[in-house]
Amino acid sequence: MSERKINDTFLKACRGEETDYVPVWYMRQAGRSQPEYRAIKEKYSLFEITHQPELCAYVTRLPVEQYGVDAAILYKDIMTPLPAIGVDVEIKSGIGPVIGNPIRSLADVERLGEIDPEQDVPYVLDTIKLLTKEQLNVPLIGFTGAPFTLASYMIEGGPSRNYNKTKAFMYSEPKAWFKLMDKLAETSIAYVKAQIRAGAKAIQIFDSWVGALNVADYRYYIKPVMEKIFTELKTEKVPLIMFGVGASHLAKEWHDLPLDVVGLDWRLPIQEARSQGLTKTLQGNLDPAILLSSWEVIEERAREILNQGMDQGGYIFNLGHGVFPEVNPETLKKLTSFVHEYSSNAKVKA
């Protein structure tokens, strides 16, 4: 069965090509704030949903149908590939990922295995195939967690506010650290390539917590492994996106990597990123807290961001982080329409 014809506005923007309007999608658009999703979550855990391709595909495509966004992002968690390499992970409600066998030594790192996506996560690939061949009329974004962020959970044993254990391990056990980075890089590369083979049209790499590092440490401990990952994935010829939270000081470092789109959180204005020399496509960056404000405030802030994004082109509208559970789905639908209409009118006038 051949793949469906899709609206490729998002993909064009990723490549820096001219588009008729600014494309939009939202991180964590699938789930959380949607009543249909909450009803499903009363019956199934996150991992249980992702193991059922039909159900997972439904959750993934729901925001496309409800909001009219220009891309879908696969519903799953960055922890999904870790059990395959020997990580005992459980997603606990109200806490997040909890690791039963945290990394404490080089021996712990050496015990980690390799992932075979077709054997270890076939349900992920089946969901992608179902969406891209039968259901979606927009591109599907696949994703993976970056080595630092995955390692932070594996070393801390769960979520952290300061990543002290992670950084201490990085500084004091460099041999173990770099071996861990290499193992997680190989896992991510294999996992992402399988997603692309299954039909994913773009990839976003989430280094959610790498903002905990300063620039010098990022360059030494992290950037080489990210260079390796993006260089390897570049051969797949799909757009590659980078995103992290609280990492504005690393935006130029990301821009140097062989990727296509730099995702910004709300701390770094788009015009400031451009003034720093970022010429690649930018994605972002409305503060998701604004979505809980009045529509007048939302529209004003969205217009300001759109004006900055459209000033030099190569721009995708998104949030500066994920959708909150408290956000009204109607707000996202209205915002999507506003982004499309405002940017389309602006391009016509130009």
Sequence ranges of the binding site for substrate: 28-32, 47, 77, 153, 208, 321
User: What are the distances in angstroms from CA 308 to CA 22, 119, 279, 297, 311?
Assistant: 12, 45, 13, 17, 5
Contact 257, 224 (CB under 8 A): no
Assign 3-state DSSP to the chain and report helix, strand, coil percentages, each to 5.
55, 10, 35
- With H, G, I as helix, E, B as strand and everything else as coil, classify residue 295: helix
Phi first, then psi: give them for residue 203, nearest 5 degrees: -130, 130
What is the C-alpha end-to-end distance of the chain, expressed in Å?
41
Q: Which amino acid is at 240?
A: L
Q: Report d(CA 217, CA 26) in Å as an integer.
A: 30
Nearest to 87 by CA among 151, 162, 44, 163: 151
Question: 152: which 2 tokens?
Answer: 């932070």
Which residue ranges make up the annotated binding site? 28-32, 47, 77, 153, 208, 321
Nearest to 70 by CA among 30, 126, 18, 10: 10
Contact 151, 195 (CB under 8 A): no
Instruction: Collect all residues with Cβ–Cβ distance below 8 Å to 110 and sequence separation of at least 6.
Output: 179
